[in-house]
Amino acid sequence: MKLSFRWYGKSDPISLEYISQIPGMRSVVSAVYDVKPGEVWPRESLKSMRDACEDAGLVFDIVESIPVHEDIKLGLPSRDKYIDAYCENIRRVSEIGVKCVCYNFMPVFDWTRTQLDKKAADGSTSLVMYMEQLKGIDPLRDGLDLPGWDASYEKEELKQLLLSYAEVGEEGLWENLRYFLERVIPVARECDVLMAIHPDDPPYPIFGLPRIITTEENLDRFLALVDDRYNGLTFCTGSLGCADFNDIPGMIDKYSKAGRIHFMHIRNIRNLPDGSFEESGHLSACGSLDMAKIVKTLVNNGFDGYVRPDHGRMIWGETGKPGYGLYDRALGAAYINGLWEMAQSNR
Ligand SMILES: [Mn+2]
């Protein structure tokens, strides 16, 4: 595995030096954050990030994410110019050594939670989604005031977007994804950049928005849209695992055997009886997923792709971007290292 850590660039309070001090850390997962979705990334920004990572003894060879412009997801006539820009970004990241690009195809939101700082009994905080808190929220009526939500959308604009997606529907979204992949994957292949779609988080429709990267059946359908190794998955255990219909180790076994997982997001999640969930510590005992089995499956199938500890709780008084502190993600990385070493020695 190539152990990696997400870094939000020079404004990230967590330094590359700290990241490099985590045992086994190899790659930095990052992106150019100061341009809008749909724009071409400046070569200078990419080079300066690559150099900063190299100076810290790390490799910047994986991107999360190159965002997909809403017009592409909606299938608007303007999508072609945004797809051209997308392809240009794949070329540019490949020029500085990037080998894998994570992205998602979720309408409007990247993820949904109802609270970002839910306090556990031990005083740590984490992101949660409580169905009780979600009830009664109607973005068409009230606009949206959820944590992490992009407040730059005006109420009317959001309403329009939601109505447009209702019209597109699931089948329309599939068609728009196919259109995108048929143009992007050949470029990715040419540049030797593995494309890795991130599943929808959570993996079911929300606020009436269609969501399609959700279940084993749909992942099968996705991989068949363009049946090419360069059209692969970011397998996020927390995103797919917060619904009980997904057999996480079984799916990992199938897709890693097929060589279609390029990036693993490994974190645990505690599922509650009413469908709510809490992001927990990484240890199996802290949540609903069998972390040892997840790692064992990857090791047994010779998985050699990227792995990151994904989110962490906020612990030890750390403040910052929810889910993206240093301490608990570093603990997650150490735990993954331990499971990996043991699984390898038992092979
Ligand atoms: Mn993830």
Whether pLDDT at 310 is above 90: yes
Whether pLDDT at 266 is above 80: yes
| pLDDT score recorded for residue 335 | 98
d(CA 88, CA 184) in angstroms, rounded, equals: 10
Summarize pLDDT for 222-249 with one digit per residue, the tens: 999 999 999 999 999 999 999 889 999 9
Chain-wide mean pLDDT for the chain? 94
Total count of domains within the chain? 1
Question: Is residue 282 among the annotated active site residues?
Answer: no
What average pLDDT score do residues 6-20 get?
A: 95
Question: Is residue 311 among the annotated active site residues?
Answer: yes
| pLDDT score recorded for residue 140 | 72
Q: How far is the CA of 227 from the centre of ligand 1 (A)?
A: 23
Question: Is residue 228 among the annotated active site residues?
Answer: no
Yes or no: say if 45 and 32 are a contact pair by the CB < 8 Å rule. Answer: yes
Choosing from 198, 200, 253, 328, which is the catalytic residue?
Answer: 198
Whether pLDDT at 44 is above 70: yes
Whether pLDDT at 79 is above 80: yes
Whether pLDDT at 95 is above 90: yes
Q: How many residues are recorded in the chain? A: 347
Q: How far is the CA of 77 from the centre of ligand 1 (A)?
A: 30
What average pLDDT score do residues 309-316 get?
A: 95
| pLDDT score recorded for residue 288 | 97
Q: How far is the CA of 81 from the centre of ligand 1 (A)?
A: 28
Summarize pLDDT for 150-161 with one digit per residue, the tens: 656 777 788 888
Whether pLDDT at 116 is above 70: yes
| pLDDT score recorded for residue 145 | 64
What does pTM read for this prediction? 0.94
What average pLDDT score do residues 322-343 get?
A: 97
Q: How far is the CA of 12 from the centre of ligand 1 (A)?
A: 19
> Exposed, middle or buried by CB within 10 Å (0-12, 13-18, 19+), for 284?
middle
B/e letters for 207-231, b = 16+ CB within 10 Å, e = fewer, are bebbbbbbbeebbeebbebbeeebb
Summarize pLDDT for 45-57 with one digit per residue, the tens: 999 999 999 999 9
| pLDDT score recorded for residue 205 | 84
Choosing from 236, 242, 253, 335, which is the catalytic residue?
Answer: 236
Whether pLDDT at 290 is above 70: yes
The tokens describing 283, both together, are 């240890």
d(CA 15, CA 25) in angstroms, rounded, equals: 13
Of 2-16, 31-45, 125-139, 295-309, where does mean pLDDT reach its minimum?
125-139
Choosing from 82, 103, 165, 324, which is the catalytic residue?
Answer: 324
Instruction: Could you list the beta-strand ranges (E) of 37-140.
Output: 59-64, 100-104, 115-119, 125-129
Question: Is residue 262 among the annotated active site residues?
Answer: no
Nearest to 327 by CA among 310, 307, 312: 312
| pLDDT score recorded for residue 150 | 61
Domain residues for the domain of 233 are 2-345
Choosing from 69, 262, 265, 282, which is the catalytic residue?
Answer: 265
State the CATH number of the domain containing residue 209. Answer: 3.20.20.150
